Every structure is written in structure tokens, then in C-alpha cells.
Amino acid sequence: MKLAGLFSWNEHTRAVLSDIRKFIGPGLLVTVGFIDPGNWAANVAAGSLHGYCLLWMVTLSTVMLILLQHNSAHLGIVTGECISEAATRHLPVWISRPILGSACVAACATATAELLGGAIALNMLFHIPLKIGTLLVLGLILWLLFGTAYRKLERFIIGFVSLIGLSFIYELWLVPTDWQAAARGWVTPAIPPGSLPIIMSVLGAVVMPHNLFLHSEIIQSRQWNREDEAVIKYQLKFEFLDTLISMGVGWAINSAMILMAAATFYYNHISVTELSQAEQMLRPLLGSTAAIVFALALLMAGLASSITAGMAGGSIFAGIYGEPFNSSDPHTKRGILLTLVTGAAAIFLIEDTFKGLIYSQVLLSIQLPWTIFLQVWLTSSKKVMGKHANTPFGSLLLWGIALIVTVLNVMLLLDFLR
């Protein structure tokens, strides 16, 4: 009997582990937006200017991100539609079109930052001019999106995220980290003098509109029977595990950026506000290998986040026509091209790349509240979600997060306009 019970337990464990492997993936694609070049710049600035004091903002932003991204995936699982499709189906055209149109613009702004991050990395590694680097990154991303199946893209990005994580483990291994100060920083909110713009930029921009659209789309890559209530509940359980693990990976990588910058730059009294400056400063402090690893990790982040920005743009554009993402469908293709080509063109039109990153974040700040309020309204509606609509407590929590993120983005916008 004991052997039979052990055999049964092992079979059950193997089945659960198989399901976990099957469902893990969509969340990691979303995590790429959490570790994109824009976040790199903010994290390096946070660590170099304020040491370990601002680690708490990574913790808080990750908690908010888990709840919002899970809610977005919840919509995709229950309805079989992404946010864009659901908005087109359930809202009047005069409401849905302006919101979804602005989301397309936000996806283009995101693509600008992601492509620019890849181009900056190529400049660091091979001294390729930024505009030529932008075209190289753009060509590679379009080739991958139009010539590669979704599952292969997912594996590519999981590999990129893994290598980025290993890169920062290597960087941390080289520097003397004060882990006691880091532990306090993760859980103790502090606002050092002059740190508010950095706090607002990280907390307010970590939730990105294109990622909310993307998660509701790509979660449907896991096929299931939506007519079976037990299957839906099973899907929701594993999706939350996927989101939790993936956002945890994002938390660890973002934390590692701040830890590295704090241990390397802050304690050497070096202020760093640009990524290229960080790479240059690492060479005399940690050696050329550390600088190359930093640039390679940035290149992988730029490539991976450019892919997901293009996918999100294609999903939003196709959803306007009531269609799901399909890279061989004309509407999806137009959305991908519109997002990435417009994002690349913006780099050619803006001479100051640092200002280009700022302008892209401002556009995200303006659009993000519309996407969050749209999502929470859809997932709180019984007409859309049926019995899977948000509970009263869940709705209250999500509306509260939506309000916090909105206020932070408005503050960020006002700070820019001053």
C-alpha cells in the first residue's frame, strides 16, 4: 500500500510539474517590459545617486505589476479575447477607437525606447553609429516576428531573460554588496532629497500599457476549453503562478541593477544618469569584461523588449478589427510594422537620444491611465466576464492601484512640463 501511495504521489507530482512547464512562458514575455532599457536607465541612476535606499520602489512596483498583469491575463483566459478585442466588442466605437488608437501610439513610443536601447548596446560593443544600429535591430526584429513561430519567439525571449539574469549575477559577484543595507532598502520606504523624479519614473512607468494588452493576448497561446469551468479555474491557477514567478524574476533583475550601481558607483561617488556612461565607468572600476557583459545584457534586453513591443502593437491594431494576433494576418502585420517602423523613425527625427527616451516615457504617462481604467472596467463587468468578474474587494484593490499609478504618471508628466 505504501508503495502504491508513493507511486500515485509521484505520478501526481510529475503531472503537476508537467503542467507548470507547459504554462510558464507568457509571464516572462511580459517581464521583458519590466527590464527594458528605460528601466535600466532609471535603476542605474537610482543606485548611483542614492545607493540602496530606493530598492523599496522595485518591491512596490512589482506587487502592483503582479496584480494588474494577472488581471489582464484573467480577461484573456475567461473571454478568449485580448483587451483590444474586448473593448471593440463591448464599447461604442466613439469610446473604444480613441483609447485603442492612443494605445497604438504608446506602443510606438515604447518601440522607440526599446530599439534605441539595442542600438546603444551595439554602439558600446562595436562602435556602430546609433542610427545604423537602429536599422540593424529593426531588421532583425522584423525578421524574427514575421519568420518565427510564436513558441520559438517565446523560447528566444526566455533565453534572453535567463542570460540577462546571469549577467547581473556575474556583475554582483564582482562587487562588494552591503546585503544588510539592501535588505533594509527592499522593505523600508525612503525618499532621499532629490530622489522624487527617479521614484516617479520607476513606479509610474513600470506598468506599461503595451504589456497589459500583450498579456491578455499571449496567455491564449495555451489552448484550453473555455466551456469547461474546471479547465478555466485550472488555467487561472497556473497563470497566476506563471505571473508570480515571472514578475519575481523581473524584481530580482531590477534589484540587481540597483545593487550593482550602488556598490560600484555610489560608494565611489560617481553619479550616472545614462547607460553609455555606466558602461564607460565600469571599465576602470571592474575591468573590460564587466563592461562587455553589461553591454551584452543591454543588447539582449533591447532585442527582447523590441519583439514584445511589436507583438503588442500588432495585437492592439488587430483587436480594433475584432481579430486576434496572427503574424500572417494583414491587420496584425500592419500593426507590427506601424509600431516598429514608427518607433525607429522617431530615433532618426530626434537628435538628442536622451530626450527621445524622456519623450517616449511622457507619451506612456499620458496613455497608461486610459488603458488601466479600460482593463479594470472590462474585468469588473459581469457582462464581459460573467461569474469571473472581479470581486468587490478585487475591484476596490485594482481601482486603488489604477489611481496610484495614474497619480504617479500625472506627477511625472507635470515634472517634465515644469
Distance (Å, whole) CA 390 – CA 34: 25
What is the grid cell recorded at 71?
488581471
pLDDT given at position 71: 94
pLDDT given at position 23: 59
pLDDT tens, position by position, 24-44: 657 778 888 778 877 787 888
Q: What is the pTM of this model?
A: 0.87
- DSSP annotation of 389 reads S
pLDDT given at position 207: 78
DSSP result, 248-281:
HHHHHHHHHHHHHHHHHTGGGT----SHHHHHHH
pLDDT given at position 7: 46
Distance (Å, whole) CA 367 – CA 30: 18
pLDDT given at position 130: 92
pLDDT given at position 186: 95
Distance (Å, whole) CA 351 – CA 22: 45
Element (H, E) at 50: helix 37-50
CA-CA-CA-CA torsion for 407, 413, 414, 415, nearest 10 degrees? 110
CATH of range 24-417; options 1.20.1740.10, 3.90.550.10, 3.30.300.30, 3.40.50.720 = 1.20.1740.10
Distance (Å, whole) CA 160 – CA 209: 22
pLDDT tens, position by position, 330-387: 999 999 999 999 999 999 988 777 667 667 777 777 788 899 999 999 999 999 999 8
The stretches in the chain having pLDDT less than 70 are 1-25, 201, 203-205, 221-231, 233-234, 281, 285, 354-355, 357-358, 412, 416
Distance (Å, whole) CA 232 – CA 78: 7
CB atoms < 10 A from the CB of 309, how many? 32
CB atoms < 10 A from the CB of 367, how many? 24
Domain residue spans in the chain?
A: 24-417
Residues counted in the chain:
418
pLDDT given at position 25: 58
Nearest 5°: the CA angle 63, 66, 67 is: 90
